[in-house]
Structures are given as structure tokens and as C-alpha cells.
Amino acid sequence: MTKFANILVPVDFGAPSRRGLELAVDLARRNGARLTLLHVFDVPVSYAGMGLSPTELLAPMWDAEQEELDRVLAKVRDEIPEVSRETARGVPWREILAFIEQRRPDLVVMGTHGRHGVPRALLGSVAEKIVRLSPCPVLTVRAEDEA
């Protein structure tokens, strides 16, 4: 039995997330691990209070993200048969952390933005919070073009 039997990788379709996914897939393949992709639909704050119907505004965005997640899932499944997808709605770091607390993966792989040349800039805010608060080991990886 491998130690990293269950690996969680939050995905948001950005460059750091893709890099994190690549590393997670590599580790899952080498370990024969189960991989879970978690996507959190972050409801844009600017739309709150606009008085528009959530279904009119948000449903197409939700559908588009679901399609993208399915596309990513299909691609990963070629390499990792034991892959599944989960979705949540809300504040990404809170939802990711709640998922971690509930499922207790052996490892969380997070892509990060890096410093962008600003000496004291921190990780991407989501990755930073997960690294700080996760009860499980977290493997952070920067997007290659930012390394």
C-alpha cells in the first residue's frame, strides 16, 4: 500500500493549476493512487446585489466550467483510471479546506502563482490559505513560466 493513496488536486483552469495537475497526475501514476479533481465555482462578488437572476447570469458560467472540468477529467483519465471529479460552490479556499477536512486525502497538490517579481508578494491567496490551514501535507508547485 502506498502512502499517497489518495491525492487531491484543486483545479481552476489557470496556468498554476495546470502545473499542479501535471505534478499530481505524475505522482498518482507513480503511486497507483486515486486522484480527485476539485473545482470550486467562485461566484463573482461583483454580481451579487445586481438584482439579476442567478440562473440567467450564473448558470451559463457554471455549465461552462463543468464542461471544462469534464474535458480535463477525460484527458487525465487516459493516464489515471482512478480519477474522479468533485465540484463545489463558494469561496474557493473555504470549500477546498472543507473538502480536505471531510475526505482527508494523503496529499494535496496546489499550483501557485509565485512572486511575480514583487519581493514580498505571497503565494496565490487560495494556495496560501490551504498551505497554512490544511491538516494534510501540501505540495506546492509554481507555474513554469513564473519559475
Name the residues that contact another protein, by CB under 8 A.
Answer: 2-4, 23, 26-27, 30-31, 112, 114-115, 121-123, 131-142, 147
CB 55, min distance to another protein, A: 38
Cβ proximity to another protein: between 36 and 140 the closer is: 140
CA atoms within 13 Å, Cβ hemisphere of 63? 7
69-to-73, 89, 137, 139 alpha-carbon distances in Å: 6, 14, 24, 22
CB 132, min distance to another protein, A: 5
Nearest-angstrom CA–CA distance, 4 and 108: 10
Cβ proximity to another protein: between 89 and 115 the closer is: 115
Cβ proximity to another protein: between 39 and 142 the closer is: 142
CB 128, min distance to another protein, A: 8
How many residues in the chain?
147
CB 126, min distance to another protein, A: 14
**Lookup result for grid cell 519581493:** 119
Nearest-angstrom CA–CA distance, 139 and 131: 8
Nearest-angstrom CA–CA distance, 142 and 123: 9
Cβ proximity to another protein: between 36 and 112 the closer is: 112
